Amino acid sequence: MPVHIYRGSLFLLLIIFVGLQLCAQTTPPASAPTQGSQPEGWEHGGYTVHQSIEIGYRVSDVTGSELMYDTLVNLHTGPRLLSQTLSMQSANHDGVLFDNLFLDSFGWGGDVNNALRARVDKNKWYDFRTAFRRDQNVFNYDLLANPLNPPTSSPSLPVNYSPHNFTTTRRMSDFDLTLLPQSVVTFRLGYSHNNMTGPSYSSVHEGTDALLLQQWNTTLNSYRIGADIKVLPRTVFSYDQFLDYYKGDTNWQLAPAAPAQLPGGQGPVELGLPIDTTNKTPCAVNSPATSLIDPNGVLTNLVCSSYFGYNRSNRVRTSMPTERVGLHSTYFKRLEFTASYAYSTADMNAPFNEFFNGLSSRSGLRQSTVVNTPGLPTEATRVSNVADFVVTGHLTEHIRLVGTFRLWDYRIPEAGNFTETDWTPPTTGTGACATPITVLTPVSCATPSSSTSTDNLSFNQDLRRNQIELIWDVNKHLGARVGFRYGNQTFTHILDFTTGDEDVFHVHEYTALLGFWAKPMTNLRFNFDWEHTNRDDVIVRIAARKEARYRIQSTYTPKPWAVIGGSINLWESSNGDALTDYRGHNRNYGFTASLNPRERLSLELAYNYDDYRQDAFVCFNDSNTSLPVVANAGSCTANGYNDDNNNTLLTYGNYTSRTHYGMASVLFRPTHRVTTQLGYSVTSVGGETPQFNALQPFGSLQYTYHQPLASLGIDIGHNLTAKAGWNYYQYGENSFVGPTAPRYFHANNTTFSLLWAF
């Protein structure tokens, strides 16, 4: 859909929304509600109308890291349209254009998340639903991709932001129309638009790592058309056609991180993100200079990896048509059948253009370009087949047999043809071209040399699973199930179509299934499920050969006003391969309680504990023996890890994360006009992993996040409620900060609002 049509559709929706709001307000209430009672709505034109609107003002006060506050909260000072609802219902289905209309929205006026949803339907004729959402995403966790520049470097240039931070806006809209929803033949039409734009950052390595401004711009347009045909009693046949079109217009260009001037005023040069002159990154400090950049901002070592310029474009265009057929039938008394099959083929082309100008000191490269080889394709195709079949046979009134078959098959052949042209000056020369090669050596000193590279690959996977289950509902108090699942997975990585070079993996999995439910009392229920999987091979080394899952859930209602729930979810996995010895688990325990002993008092409680762990042998390279992981390391070469000579040290690496989450909230109405709420939630994380860098803090593996709140609402009559709310946020990490900006913050947010509802 063209952009102007999309914007026009949204504008038309807003006009309809405002018009209906005004229409709903033209008639007085049918009967004024008594104080403290639920508003009865207005009667207008044969419709029962309910409406609410809440407007307010938020005051936000932040102390500490605003970057971290925006990453986690990102709510700021200003007026807001906090929420709005409108419903118009025709009890007798005698509306002229529609029988029911529902509108609701929230977040307008400056919040980072806002939405507008609408539904309109006319009995037997149509059902139309639409939604618009806008999300402003801010992420700037300064440890992500941070070079952790040491304070011993000269100069010392800490990076106090994430080199991969982003501030993007995503706009999403959906339109779905169902025609003749209660007829023998039903038609469905739909359209979705998803656009993400905004500045973000990334990095590139060419001698050193440079910061890149990544102007994000992606668009996905999806069109849908389908029909449901009720060919037989209790039988529906469905057909859907999906057309998805993706555009990736993101581009990259050099951004400033550590600029330095060149002697003689020959312009600035960018040294990149990592500055560690002790370890000669991006180069060493040459005597008699004491710093890589002198007090005048001039570079003192000209044989230094650096950038004059860099840019890259990669305009991706992908079309993805998909056809899907489905069938659901309960025509036969003891047999249920559900089946679907989808076929999709996606075609992508991605013209590529990269330019670098600077110096890679290790190779002497001064300039390079990478482009698509003229006349040869750079494209990829994805062909997929997805099928699901489920058959349920009711053997007796209480026993049924369920068979399930699932197929997921795809192949992604791709062709990449690139031409790289390099300008590397010779190691001998005179005048301006004299050696050594420096950042000042003219590009004209080099004779360009070109080389071509070709990729002709394919990733193929075929996954088939068959499952059979016997389910027995013994009586109204007890039920059980037992089953078996068999899976067959084939993964093929074609390295070269011409030579037939390929890697093929065959994995067979065998899973036992067991479960039961029990209801010993009408107010108490338990569910238990168990799965155990064995595989005869894996595709990647740390994939699980053995897996087990345990799920226990319970619900207890000791009183009509009290609901208590609990859950246990356990996952265990392992791979006893001698070169990895992988082991992992995720253990989750949860508890909830909802108590409402009186009409004016309610209490909500929740607690969740999550324990995640993953262990495996790791090969690495380091010389800092002051770190325990280095001092106690074994030898990868001596233990058979001879596929990577650059990483010779061996340790049994472990990653742990233990998360406690607790929440309590009490709602109290001291009078029928006053409503108060107090709440508190806290998330506490404690985890560990081997420390390969003394400057690397544990960061998000060890933190505490507090979120108390309080609110007050007073019914002031005339369908008006005055409200005030307070939220407090406090984030702090439990390890040292590292060579970055502190991530601690606390913030007070206060919102004053007025709610009008009838």
How far is the C-alpha of 485 from the C-alpha of 462, rounded, in Å? Answer: 16
Q: Which amino acid is at 356?
A: F
- Statement: residue 725 has pLDDT above 80: yes
Could you tell me which of 409, 412, 506 has the C-alpha nearest to residue 456?
A: 412
What pLDDT does residue 37 have?
Answer: 42
- Statement: residue 25 has pLDDT above 80: no
**Interior CA angle at 720 toward 719 and 726, to 5°?**
145
Share of the chain above pLDDT 70, in %: 94
Average pLDDT, the chain: 92
Residue 443 corresponds to which tokens in the numbers above? 């590009």
What Rg do the C-alpha atoms of the chain give, in angstroms? 32
Which residues, including other chains, have CB under 8 Å from residue 491's CB and lie 6 or more apart?
459, 460, 461, 504, 505, 507, 539
How far is the C-alpha of 318 from the C-alpha of 379, rounded, in Å? Answer: 10
Task: List pLDDT tens digits, range 378-433.
Answer: 899 999 999 999 999 999 999 999 999 999 999 999 999 999 999 999 988 888 89
What pLDDT does residue 430 have?
Answer: 84
- Statement: residue 19 has pLDDT above 60: no
Strands 379-394 and 365-372: unpaired
- Statement: residue 554 has pLDDT above 90: yes
CA 707 to chain centre: 23
Strands 524-535 and 501-521: antiparallel
* 438 SS3 class: coil
What pLDDT does residue 45 have?
Answer: 77
Per the CB < 8 A criterion, the answer to whether 240 and 324 are in contact is yes
Query: How many Cα atoms within 13 Å fall on the side-chain side of residue 128?
Result: 13
What pLDDT does residue 642 have?
Answer: 64
Share of the chain above pLDDT 90, in %: 84
How far is the C-alpha of 750 from the C-alpha of 591, rounded, in Å? Answer: 30
Supply the DSSP symbol for 183: S
Mean pLDDT of 727-740: 96
The runs of H, that is alpha helices, within 493-639 are 628-631
What pLDDT does residue 15 have?
Answer: 36
Task: List pLDDT tens digits, range 442-500.
Answer: 999 999 999 999 989 999 999 999 999 999 999 999 999 999 999 999 999 998 888 88
How far is the C-alpha of 161 from the C-alpha of 655, rounded, in Å? Answer: 25
How far is the C-alpha of 8 from the C-alpha of 331, rounded, in Å? Answer: 46
How far is the C-alpha of 158 from the C-alpha of 558, rounded, in Å? Answer: 58
Task: List pLDDT tens digits, range 131-164.
Answer: 999 999 999 999 999 999 999 999 999 999 999 9
How far is the C-alpha of 314 from the C-alpha of 370, rounded, in Å? Answer: 11
How far is the C-alpha of 404 from the C-alpha of 336, rounded, in Å? Answer: 12
Per the CB < 8 A criterion, the answer to whether 543 and 515 are in contact is no
Q: How confident is residue 66, by pLDDT bands cut at 50, 70 and 90?
A: very high
Q: Which amino acid is at 190?
A: G
* 13 SS3 class: helix
Task: List pLDDT tens digits, range 176-226.
Answer: 999 999 999 999 999 999 999 999 999 999 989 999 999 999 999 999 999
How far is the C-alpha of 592 from the C-alpha of 662, rounded, in Å? Answer: 10
How far is the C-alpha of 679 from the C-alpha of 605, rounded, in Å? Answer: 10
Could you tell me which of 510, 518, 592, 524 has the C-alpha nearest to residue 555?
A: 524
Task: List pLDDT tens digits, range 270-293.
Answer: 999 999 999 999 999 999 999 999
Domain boundaries, the chain: 332-515, 540-667
